[in-house]
Amino acid sequence: MKLLLCSASPRRRDLLSALGIEFVAAPSHIDESRRPGEPVLDYVRRMAREKARARLGFVALAADTVVVVGDEVLGKPSDRSDAARMLRLLSGIEHRVITAVCVGDRVTSVTTTVKFAPLSETQVRWLADSGDGDDKAGAYAVQGLAGAFVERIDGSFTNVVGLPLAETVAMLAEAGVELPWKD
């Protein structure tokens, strides 16, 4: 079965490509606004499900990742000052990274806890001004510059990058997607 990646994320493409999984990428263009009062887990699962709406002839894979501090959802920053605001919030604390993955009509979510070192204002500005976190939830890329300030990760590293591979590969196998390793 052919795989359709419903995402514009270069990180998700890179993760699947590194495993040798063949796919076609076609980003979904949907309203990604959180509904008033919508619980975080419901929101991220709804985003993944809406991105993966049925695509004939393909098994659709969609994912949505959010960074959560308390009950505040940090999506992609609107600009560099918003990125700096998010990085200040993350400075010195643990936060959750939640990714919902939808393959076909099945949705699962993975949560990873990340602990940032305390960041000085100079470090915050440097990270924000670098642009490394411009299009990333929480304004950072664990595999990028911000990785220098991550003290601890409890859970899936690839989840923090944007696609929890262990869970995704299991879902793809269940959906009949041909994987490069054959049993």
Active site residues: 64
What is the radius of gyration, based on Cα positions, of the chain? Answer: 16
Task: Tell which phi-psi region holds residue 34, choosing left (phi > 0), alpha (psi between -120 and 50) or beta.
Answer: beta
CA–CA distance, 51 with 31 (Å, rounded to integer): 10
- The CA-based angle 140-97-93, given to 5 degrees, is 70
- Identify the CA nearest to 134 among candidates 10, 7, 5: 10
* Among 166, 114, 136, residue whose Cα is nearest residue 65: 136
